[in-house]
Amino acid sequence: MEALIISLKATSAGVILGAICQKLKLPLPAPPVFAGLMGILGVIIGGKIAQILF
């Protein structure tokens, strides 16, 4: 349950930050879509490998 609350807080913070950037006509503070997805995938795979090895 705690993980869900943290996820909701993080999502809310992202939505608020995105709205502020859009309102101020600033670029979004995020990597391009493909690079961002590959980074997330790398973190997940790295975590799984660490669980297996350690």
Domain that holds residue 21: 2-53
d(CA 54, CA 52): 6
- What is the model's pLDDT at position 51? 92
Question: Sign of the CA dihedral 11, 16, 17, 22?
Answer: positive
- What is the model's pLDDT at position 4? 86
- What is the model's pLDDT at position 28? 79
* Count of domains for the chain: 1
Q: Splitting the chain (54 residues) into consecutive groups of 10 residues, what average pLDDT does each group show?
A: 86 90 86 84 92 91
31 close to 39: Cβ distance less than 8 angstroms:
yes
Which run of H or E residues covers position 35?
Answer: helix 33-53
- Residue 30's contacts (CB-CB under 8 Å, 6 or more residues apart) are 36
pTM here is 0.56
